[in-house]
């Protein structure tokens, strides 16, 4: 885990890579190129609207959590762009170091934390001081998982476009609060 932690980025470095990939991606064959702009806009929106919740801050303080947060993510991911900024800012405000490991830079990390056999992101690794894994969260809050389940149960009555729209509306209104609450509960 120490190796992954050393290779991980701060949130500011992650944001900078997002901008670089959107504006001048060195990988001209990047299959996610069309999603960087959208992801960047979503992250910027979250950063503008997110406020640290005082109740959540006192809950985390009561737990005396002195560990770290390692988020496995990529800037093109819709779930990540809605969640990673809020989770990063919250835990930084709580006094915990936060880093982001780019999933596609080395799949050996995400392969240890698959979701139903997939490399779904973001995955939040709650680490103890010694970098051992205390718990894992992700890739989306329960409400988002419920929407996904509804979509997968019947794509005819709940089409993909409607699912994506409902999920993004939820993320925009919730501003990471549910994700943070669920992560706090895992600590």
Task: Report pLDDT digits (tens) over 8-56.
Answer: 999 999 999 999 999 998 888 899 998 999 899 999 999 999 999 999 9
Buried-exposed string 52-75: b where 16+ CB fall within 10 A, e elsewhere: ebeebbebbeeeebebbbbbbbbb
* pTM, two decimal places: 0.94
Q: How many domains does the chain have?
A: 1
Q: What is the CATH number of the domain that holds 61?
A: 3.40.30.10
The reply to whether 80 falls in a domain is yes
* Amino acid 27: pLDDT: 87
Instruction: Note the pLDDT of residue 145.
Output: 95
Confirm whether 145 is domain-assigned.
Answer: no
The answer to whether residue 164 sits within a structural domain is no
Name the residue range of residue 88's domain.
2-140+178-186
Q: How confident is the model at residue 68 (pLDDT cuts 50, 70, 90)?
A: very high
Q: Say what the pLDDT of residue 26 is.
A: 85
For residue 39, being part of any structural domain is answered with yes
pLDDT at 161: 95
- For residue 30, CA distances in Å to 8, 22, 116, 123, 172 come to 21, 11, 25, 22, 27
């Amino acid at each position: 885990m120490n190796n992954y932690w050393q290779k991980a980025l701060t949130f500011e470095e992650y944001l900078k890579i997002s901008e670089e990939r959107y504006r001048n991606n060195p990988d001209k064959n990047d299959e996610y190129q069309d999603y960087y702009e959208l992801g960047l806009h979503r992250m910027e929106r979250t950063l503008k609207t997110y406020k640290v919740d005082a109740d959540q801050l006192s809950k985390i303080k009561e737990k005396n959590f002195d560990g770290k947060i390692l988020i496995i993510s990529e800037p093109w991911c819709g779930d990540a762009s809605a969640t990673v900024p809020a989770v990063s800012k919250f835990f930084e405000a709580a006094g915990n170091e936060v880093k982001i490991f780019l999933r596609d830079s080395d799949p050996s990390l995400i392969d240890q934390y698959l979701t139903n056999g997939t490399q779904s992101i973001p995955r939040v690794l709650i680490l103890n001081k010694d970098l051992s894994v205390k718990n894992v969260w992700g890739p989306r809050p329960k409400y988002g998982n419920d929407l996904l389940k509804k979509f997968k149960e019947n794509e005819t009555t709940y089409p993909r476009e409607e699912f994506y729209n409902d999920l993004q509306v939820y993320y925009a209104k919730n501003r990471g609060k549910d994700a943070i609450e669920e992560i706090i509960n895992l600590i």
